[in-house]
Amino acid sequence: MDFFEAVARRRSIRKFTDEVVPESVIEKALEAAVLAPNSSNVQTWDFYWVQTPEKKARLVEACLGQSAARTANQLVVVVADPKKWKRSKPALVEWVKKANAPKPVHLYYEKLIPVTYTWGPLNSFGLFKAVAAFFTGIFRPILRGPFFKRDLQEVAIKSAALAAENFVLAVSAQGYSTCMMEGHDENRVKKLLGLPSSARVTMVIGIGRAHERGTWGPQMRLPNDQVIHRV
């Protein structure tokens, strides 16, 4: 399907039909998801395709029983965990060696990523970095983070959101529909998936064939001149 057609036909669908979504549709959408850009390419994301009936039931409950979850044929949970930089580091260091990357990039992956992604006990190391940046920032442009656990979770969530958007567009391009759900009990979803405290549930995505009553009306967007500013 044409890119702009896939974007235009995507709507958040709150009711799905009973139609079974072929596994290949989800697989193809997940492959598109991991091609999204992400912070420093550390790929601190995970995609949980919840398939066992018992887990699905618990996930629907954690989504407060909303119909987009209840009627979804498939459910995928997008998770962000900044600590997953450790999983990527060996492959990134290897990749940089093979690639035509300048010296600072090598140092970045070998030395700076571990420093950037460490917040220390009670955010102590983060505080040290924040104070140093504050004083340096008076004199010249400097990064204003990420320093603390929450900052790094935010970075990871942002990247996971980029992947989630690829996912829903890829489902749309295959003729099916989705609903991104932020309305869920994050504690219960984390418990269900056995996630560590550093992990954050970015969203739960329901996938299925759109029911004719899947939306409440035509899509509503603010006029472009309210949100797009030429400066």
Chain positions 103 to 142 lying near a second copy, rule: CB under 8 A, are 105, 137, 141-142
215: its two tokens: 């939306």
CB of 17 or CB of 40, closer to a second copy: 40
Q: What is the Cα–Cα distance from 194 to 77, expressed in whole angstroms? A: 13
SS3 48: strand
- Which positions ≥6 away from 219 have C-beta within 8 Å? 11
Element (H, E) at 208: strand 200-208
| Of residues 5 and 19, the one with the C-beta less far from a second copy | 5
150, 198, 209, 211: which one binds a second copy (CB under 8 A): 150
* CB half-sphere exposure, 147, CA atoms < 13 A: 17
Instruction: Write down the least CB distance from residue 128 to a second copy, Å.
Output: 19
Binding-residue pattern over the window 51 to 80 for a second copy, x denoting contact by CB under 8 A: xx--x-----xxxx----------------
Residues 87/45, Cβ–Cβ less than 8 Å: no
Separation between Cα atoms, residue 144 and residue 175, nearest integer Å:
42
Q: Which of residues 154-193 bind a second copy (CB under 8 A)?
A: 154-155, 157-159, 161-162, 164-166, 168-170, 173, 180, 182-188, 193
Closest to a second copy by CB, 46 vs 73, is: 46
* CB of 193 closer than 8 Å to CB of 59: no
Q: Which is nearer to a second copy, 19 or 31 (CB)?
A: 31
CB of residue 158 to a second copy, shortest distance in Å: 5
Strand partners, 78: 47, 203
Closest distance of CB 105 from a second copy, Å? 7
Q: What is the DSSP letter of 109?
A: I
When the beta carbons of 193 and 207 are compared against a second copy, the nearer one is 193
Question: Least Å distance between CB 84 and a second copy?
Answer: 9
- 207 beta partners: 74, 178
Considering only residues 20 to 49 of the shown chain, the ones binding a second copy according to CB under 8 A are: 28, 30-32, 34-37, 39, 41, 43, 45-49
